[in-house]
Structure 1
């Protein structure tokens, strides 16, 4: 689908309707002429200008400078003949999109010079017709001076933001890879030696059964003890693995929400008692995803998080006073809601959604009390 972007500039601080007026104004200036030849010539120049302007966005290499030269010539002619200088703003915007600094600076100087020369000549020859436009002409000159640098800076900022986002995503991937490698090293260090010992003792016990049954029984006991020790070390390693607690995630959520200039309130105790680490990690990830949705999509001014640990389940509610969910989005199909539901289902939980006077997500997770009694491996 063809976008207006290629004719009407975006992100310049001016409304699209202002640019539409700039597109229509040439005809007003043209039709003031008394000669039909001048009217036809002006319409032809206007159409050629917009055609060249469109081609300058889709062309590459040296063709770009050819079309820009045509546009500058037309802008100069339209200014001198009809007193219409506003094509210069279109050119100023396009010049700001040129990436090569040498080409940008050259075209900027040429465009500024030709625009000032054309306005000066027109003022000398037709001062009466241009004097009523003096405020708009001054604004146009300021735009020709500042707009290219503004557009260039904004494009560079967007490029850097995109590179930063890619870098953060890459860092996240590397962190996951590093964590996997760390877990693999820990498992290897914990289990490698003991599994090798179990294998060797198993072979030795197999050989000793027909020759020395009593010694074979001792070896089998050693195998059992080694297996228990390995199991105990693996459980301790898993339990000591760092996970995101609900309390820590809630602090980060508050920072994100307040950074988006929303107010934040929290109810309930975020410290869950005797809750398995896996369940708390799932709730933390779901809370993070829900808060991200509030910041990105809700247009809300307030966000509230409520945590209730009941006898049979844990309830985490995220509510905002924003615009609610669009009717075009099916339940659980938009803004990461499917991912939240899948995470909750992994721990036998569920997700409820209400979209009235804002959006309210309720996370339900069965309150499975973790067994805190230690096993005796001695």
Structure 2
């Protein structure tokens, strides 16, 4: 349960708390003619009014502010005229009112509070104390207007951010539509043509049907991979970024980490990068949680048409921990990419993890 609005906490919580503490200390510690019990009652009503104004932006805010101004005026008359400085507490909240007329009425309340106290205490607005209080009154009168424009600016920024989000979402939908048309649509058309051809060959050339069915199966797998890539693009994780992040995590745990990327320019699809990045993240988590290692080495290579990423530490090994959910999920991710994941753990040499996926045609790195 919140006892203070979140939108106010960042800028005003400390100020409000200090102001209330000062007010309570000054009132209870003064030697004025106000009985102690009355002081307590005034402070309680003041706190209730302040809390009510804090949580409302409608007529309740205005009513609570007027109550606060009356109490401050009483304190200004019977305690000290400089109690009027605490009008800032409500002047700030008035700027958050929904309607401009409420702000205007609140400003009249501020002016009325100051003028009443100054007239009753000094009998003239030209008195030296009045001359000191007038600038304070002017600042409090301007304060709600300033807060109003600040809040309005925040609302405009929020609306602009929402519009930008909608535009980004619209662009993303259009991108997905284009990808579906250019990739999946073309692949499905190939499946349709191949299927029609196969139905015609069943009677005329049965021996060719098997080859056509294999082509359909291969094209279907391609379509499935394209769908995975499109889905992965929506939550893309850069492998390079994840490697840097994992290095930082390991080093923060006093695990010396080295990265040897022999083929940094190898082109991977978005789904391949995301899957490998998630596997690296899971392996790093296991090292931090279980390995007790001092050193870790990450090596990336391309050999015999395979892209391999190896992670080796000098920790305590798997120690019969078995193949938990983390290891199973890494194996499943590699299986989706038609690759594999190998795990070796020994108490003397540490743990080695190897992720390997086939390099797609046209993506081989230069030799």
Q: TM-score range by the shorter chain?
A: 0.5 to 0.7
Q: Who is 1:303 aligned against?
A: none
CA RMSD of aligned residues (A): 5.3
Given the superposition, is the C-alpha separation of residues 217 and 343 from structure 1 closer, same or farther in structure 2, using an over 3 Å criterion? closer
* SS, match of residue 199 in structure 2: helix
Q: Who is 2:209 aligned against?
A: 220
Structure 1 segment 80-95 matched on structure 2, within 5 A: 80-83=77-80, 84-95=83-94
Q: Who is 1:309 aligned against?
A: 299
Q: CA deviation at 1:103?
A: 2.0
Please say if 1:281 is aligned against 2:274: yes
Please say if 1:346 is aligned against 2:333: yes
Q: CA deviation at 1:24?
A: 0.9
Q: Who is 2:187 aligned against?
A: 191
Q: CA deviation at 1:98?
A: 0.8
Q: Who is 1:124 aligned against?
A: 122
Task: Answer yes or no: is the 8 Å Cα contact 2:49–2:68 preserved in 1.
Answer: yes
Structure 2: tracts of 5 or more residues without a match: 246-257, 282-295, 302-307, 312-325, 335-339, 343-351, 363-367
Q: Who is 1:104 aligned against?
A: 103
Task: Answer yes or no: is the 8 Å Cα contact 2:195–2:216 preserved in 1.
Answer: no
Task: Answer yes or no: is the 8 Å Cα contact 1:12–1:151 preserved in 2.
Answer: no
Distance 1:4 1:310 in 2: 52
Task: Answer yes or no: is the 8 Å Cα contact 1:52–1:70 preserved in 2.
Answer: yes
Given the superposition, is the C-alpha separation of residues 183 and 67 from structure 1 closer, same or farther in structure 2, using an over 3 Å criterion? same
Given the superposition, is the C-alpha separation of residues 69 and 120 from structure 1 closer, same or farther in structure 2, using an over 3 Å criterion? same
Distance 1:118 1:270 in 2: 81
Q: How many residues align?
A: 293
Q: CA deviation at 1:165?
A: 5.0
Distance 1:173 1:270 in 2: 37
**Deviates most, 96-105 or 196-205:** 196-205
Please say if 1:19 is aligned against 2:19: yes
* SS, match of residue 3 in structure 1: coil
TM value normalised by structure 2 = 0.56
1:313-366 Cα offsets, whole Å, 9 max, x none, are 356xxxxxxxxxxxxxxxxxxxxxxx9x9789834789xxxxxxxxxxxxx973
Distance 1:138 1:54 in 2: 27
* SS, match of residue 77 in structure 1: helix
Q: CA deviation at 1:124?
A: 1.6
Given the superposition, is the C-alpha separation of residues 78 and 199 from structure 1 closer, same or farther in structure 2, using an over 3 Å criterion? same
Task: Answer yes or no: is the 8 Å Cα contact 1:92–1:147 preserved in 2.
Answer: yes
Q: CA deviation at 1:148?
A: 2.4
Distance 2:61 2:94 in 1: 10
Distance 2:183 2:109 in 1: 67
Q: Who is 2:53 aligned against?
A: 56
Q: CA deviation at 1:114?
A: 1.8
Given the superposition, is the C-alpha separation of residues 47 and 194 from structure 1 closer, same or farther in structure 2, using an over 3 Å criterion? closer
Q: CA deviation at 1:89?
A: 1.5
